[in-house]
Amino acid sequence: MEYRLLGRTGVSVSPLCLGSMMFGEWGNKDESASIRIIHAALDAGINFIDTADIYSYGESEQIVGKALRGRREDVFLATKFFIPMKEAPNYRGGSRRWIMRAVEDSLRRLQTDHLDLYQVHRPSADTDVAETLGALSDLVHQGKVRYIGSSSYSASQIVEAQWVSRDRHLERFVTEQPPYSILVRGIEEDILPTTQRYGMGTLTYSPLSGGWLSGRWRKGANAQPTATVRPSARFDMTSPDNQRKLDIVEQLAQLADEYDLTLIELAIAFVINHPGVTSAIVGPRTIEQLEAYLPAADIKLPAELLDRIDELVKPGVTINPDDNSYGDHDLQPRLRRR
């Protein structure tokens, strides 16, 4: 497996990052099976694991911590905070109060004395970014965190955070984690150019677009969203946008066959072939799914194939606008013209 530099950190990571959202109650409830998947990924050359405190409400971190006993130093370990861990107030967000509590909880569950990358899971309109960056900077100075990053930030939010870090002499976000796939190409318009301009690593999630590019969602198939996917317009098959997605998936499957690739290999290789992408986060629930993802790490897509993909989905375009909206960048009533 060919490793890549993570932005300007000097750290080398694998082009596939093992996402752990499916380990625990939300996905694979067999802890020993999840640990085997993690070990298989490490044995295959993946040295990058991404998790979050919210995944199965801490269970995912616990599983990762158990799996890394004796192998921790070989892994670049990332986790995230922000999403509510309890119904009570102040167990969420980007405040100093919560960050200092959340990091200790994650360190305990992961059975480690430091995190290689600590990420803000979502941006917040209610918290000064300087508050968040200040707390994270203190964690870096304490040695509990090596690097800090953001997730699902808009381009303007990325720029604001970089400027605040510069002007206030705080640690800066060295990574951004946005959604990206053949069907969801919105980040090509401004997110990727922005992260490249600031020398950030880009860790993209959902390269299979929530299962649309895994073969799960095909014409005539009676697939249903997994338990972790809330019913939404993203999976409304009466939607003209989703019908168009089904048509495109059929054409992509034929294109993959022409080049002796699986649809999964084509989809993941497309993501990591972008020069602005460091790693694609893949989240297997079974060992078979991991094995289907691994070959993509070594696939170089020829220019003519990329051109044909561009004909199906134009650069910078997201087929269904609902796929670009994860509830974080929607214009709230107070921000709307009306």
pLDDT > 90 in the chain, percent = 84
* Residue 81 confidence class, pLDDT cut points 50, 70, 90: very high
The question of whether 55 is a catalytic residue gets the answer yes
User: Model's pTM, two decimal places?
Assistant: 0.92
Residue 334 confidence (pLDDT): 56
Percent of the chain with pLDDT over 70: 91
Which residue ranges form the domains of the chain, and what is each CATH number?
4-335 (3.20.20.100)
Catalytic residue among 55, 198, 205, 293: 55
**pLDDT tens-digit map of 176-226:** 999 999 999 999 999 999 999 999 999 999 999 999 999 876 666 655 555
Which one, of 327, 323, 51, lies nearest residue 212 by Cα?
Answer: 323
The number of CA neighbours under 13 Å toward the Cβ of 210 is: 23
**Tokens 């220019």 appear where?**
303
Contact present, 144 and 174 (Cβ < 8 Å): no
Q: Are 202 and 153 in contact (CB under 8 A)?
A: no
- The confidence band for 53, taking pLDDT boundaries of 50, 70 and 90, is very high
**Between residues 126 and 165, which one has the greater pLDDT?**
165
